[in-house]
Amino acid sequence: MKALQFFVSIPRFVALKALGAVKKRLYYDSPFAAIKLVDVPEPRLPFPDWVKIRTFLCGFCGSDLNLIFLRDSPTSTPFTSFPCTLGHELCGEIIEVGREVKGLNIGDIVTIAPHLGCATRGINPECRSCSMGRPGNCENFAKGNFSPGMFTGICHDIGGGFAPYLVAHKTQVFKLPEGVSYESGAMIEPLAVALQAVLDNRPDKDDRVLVIGGGVIGSLIVQSIRALDIDCDITVVEPSRFHAEFALKKGADNLITDRDIFTHTQRITGAEIYQPMMGKEILMGGFEKVFDTVGNSETLNNSMRIMSTGGGLSVVGIGSDVKIDLTPLWLKLQTIVFAYGYNSINGKKMHTFEIAMDLVKKGKIRLDDMVTHRFPLERYKEMIELNMNKGENRAIKTVISFV
């Protein structure tokens, strides 16, 4: 079967960084490209507690784009193995069930929570993170039955959704409620990311909330806050007019579409601006909760400077080589919460995926209108190019479609 695979070595990394600085297309369309369409064997069930899934749709994540353009920190490479078939935001149909799987049947329409924690790796007893219901922070990503890999899509042995078939451990699989579309099914994973961020840094109704970035995750954070019936004031920072207006439609109250974030914060929150002897302004007062879906040096430093005393910053975007001034953090007694993945809530009683699917089933969150573009696997280069300028192309979520 055909699969979209990623592979990088140190020589290829060096070559691509040099060549890509001249022409970005070389990252995905050249003899040196780290991503290629290849022929691979159709996967078999590795153990009797696994299922096989026929892929319907698989979303193209911002993390996939960062991987292709080699923007990720090398720190995570011990927990990744190459070549790997990409794709972790997916919906499909179970076509084979291992003999030790209960509650899942052939024909079930499902999505998966992609993290490859202790349970998926056959490790018992579980590590501390997994036993706390946090397999996304498993301590054994490089151990157990499979090659290193934090989640489906970046593990050599466990291929992702950019292929017509994949396998998943029974603990990863969530059956979609009746009436939930394939498009919504493929969007449950990014919704769970956003929902987890909100649950971990939950605003009060009187809080002023700032969401930096109005793309997929930013929009889903807005929708998650509204779906949890939190009637707070939400401001979204987003330079793309198309994405900003979509965030407004999904529940935002205010938009910041230019770079003058300090003046807008003063206008919206009543904060007072102070000018240091050198450097950027700092505000007293400001937003009580900030969700940064970009996570670079500029957005993180701005977040702390415009956040109120005692405020909470949720870092959802993953930047590299970040440099920050910690002064606002101690001056205003702020808290930074890092959001990565999704957990079981209240121990292991309920998973964030289950909450996300319930909100979609009840109509409190709509996801299918976020899927704006579909591509067959063979046109992956077009998909990458569209994602390089989503605002101009009026794109929100793009997916590879096998149906």
Other Cβ atoms within 10 Å of 392 Cβ, number: 10
> What pLDDT, on a 0 to 100 scale, did the predictor assign at position 72?
87
**First and final C-alpha spacing in the chain:** 15
Position 373 scores a pLDDT of 98
Residue type, 368: D
Three-state DSSP string of the chain: CEEEEECCCHHHHHHHHHHHCCCHHHHCCCCCCCEEEEECCCCCCCCCCEEEEEEEEEECCHHHHHHHCCCCCHHHHHHCCCCEECCCEEEEEEEEECCCCCCCCCCCEEEECCECCHHHHCCCCCCHHHHCCCHHHCCCCCCCCCCCCCECCCCCCCCCCCCCEEEEEHHHEEECCCCCCHHHHHHHHHHHHHHHHHHHCCCCCCCEEEEECCCHHHHHHHHHHHHCCCCCEEEEECCCHHHHHHHHHCCCCEEECCCCHHHHHHHHHCCEEECCCCCCCEEECCEEEEEECCCCHHHHHHHHHCEEEEEEEEECCCCCCCCCCCHHHHHCCCEEEECCCCCEECCCCEEHHHHHHHHHHCCCCCCHHHEEEEECHHHHHHHHHHHCCCCCCCCCEEEEECC
Query: How far apart are the C-alpha atoms of 142 and 321, rounded to whole Å?
Result: 24
Strand 109-112 relative to strand 2-6, pairing: unpaired
Residue 348 has what pLDDT?
Answer: 53
Tokens representing 209 are 């909330």
Domains annotated on the chain, with CATH: 2-188+343-401 (3.90.180.10), 202-338 (3.40.50.720)
pTM of the entire predicted model: 0.96
Instruction: Return the pLDDT at 344.
Output: 65
Q: Mean pLDDT of residues grouped by 10 in the chain (403 residues)?
A: 96 93 94 96 98 98 95 91 98 98 98 97 96 93 97 97 98 96 98 96 97 97 98 97 97 96 97 95 98 96 97 90 92 93 67 96 97 98 97 97 97
Whole-number pLDDT of residue 343:
74
Residues 358 and 222: beta-carbon distance below 8 Å:
no
CB neighbour list of residue 304: distance below 8 Å, 6 or more residues apart: 313, 324, 325, 328, 329, 332, 334
What pLDDT, on a 0 to 100 scale, did the predictor assign at position 265?
98
- Phi, psi at residue 190, to the nearest 5°? -65, -30
